[in-house]
Structure 1
């Protein structure tokens, strides 16, 4: 668990990181190679990592087999609600989430801190308005978690 005290927002105790798969940590169904190391660094901080996806390309199990992460695959028809439910099940007030798509919006609203990445696939304009922070790519989003003073500087009141 990581404790972050954000002036104007108070303390957050981060226990879980929820990651969207396609467009966030993967492009065209393949995990971005450098992300494996970042996930390992987050785990070393005591944060559990969960990949939440409808698995559009059907590759998440194979691509994430060696990642220290819990993989949650759900039906395509209700992805937004499924992601929100997973956040709530894990204790959304102790979750940071990262995504890029329209179906990440409810998860963004539920989690303590939400980060949207633009990346190669772009991002949903609707979810952009629900995110706490916007990053140009997934590497910058991970660095916010690995270097909490960046979060504090961005979110302070």
Structure 2
């Protein structure tokens, strides 16, 4: 579990239990895991349960995620945005921090207590960006926020 106090964001301390992350465009580019992601996710998995959700467009998720302590959720080709939102609800939205980049990540990012949007090589959906709490320019910076939660507090406090 990861506890974070963010003055002005929530009255009570957040008690995060889950990290939910999109695969392609977020952890991977063109189906290939971004260098350094495996190590960061394994560090974070010591504090949070890591859930990777994907439509697996390139068919590489299982192979690319070998050796990472995570739960992989493969989604159908249809309604991925809705499926991701329901998955957040199933985990308990007040305990989820999520990271995504595309339109199909909008519900996941919006429903999570903290939603992070990435603007990487694939860009980011403006719809998802508008409902996120934090925007980062690469996945390693986003994962570093989770590894150093005072950075999240510094960004979101008011």
List per-residue Cα deviations over 1:8-50 (Å, max 9, x = no partner). 1231111000010000000000111310000011012x20000
Counterpart in 2 of 1:31?
A: 33
Counterpart in 1 of 2:64?
A: 63
1:33-112 matches, within 5 Å, as 33-44=35-46, 46-112=47-113
Query: How much does 1:124 deviate?
Result: 0.5
Query: How much does 1:52 deviate?
Result: 0.5
Tell me, what secondary structure is at the counterpart of 1:6? coil
Query: How much does 1:65 deviate?
Result: 2.0
User: What is the RMSD computed on CA atoms of the aligned residues?
Assistant: 0.8
Counterpart in 2 of 1:118?
A: 119
Structure 1 gaps, min length 5: none
Query: How much does 1:145 deviate?
Result: 0.5
The TM-score normalised by the length of structure 2 is 0.96
| CA–CA distance in structure 2, aligned partners of residues 142 and 82 of structure 1 | 23
Tell me, what secondary structure is at the counterpart of 2:131? coil
Counting matched residue pairs gives 156
Structure 2 gaps, min length 5: none
Query: How much does 1:87 deviate?
Result: 0.7
| CA–CA distance in structure 2, aligned partners of residues 61 and 41 of structure 1 | 19
| CA–CA distance in structure 2, aligned partners of residues 76 and 118 of structure 1 | 23
* 1:15 equivalenced with 2:17 (yes/no): yes
| CA–CA distance in structure 1, aligned partners of residues 141 and 62 of structure 2 | 25
List per-residue Cα deviations over 1:72-124 (Å, max 9, x = no partner). 00111110011011111111110000000001111111100000011111111
The TM-score normalised by the length of structure 1 is 0.97
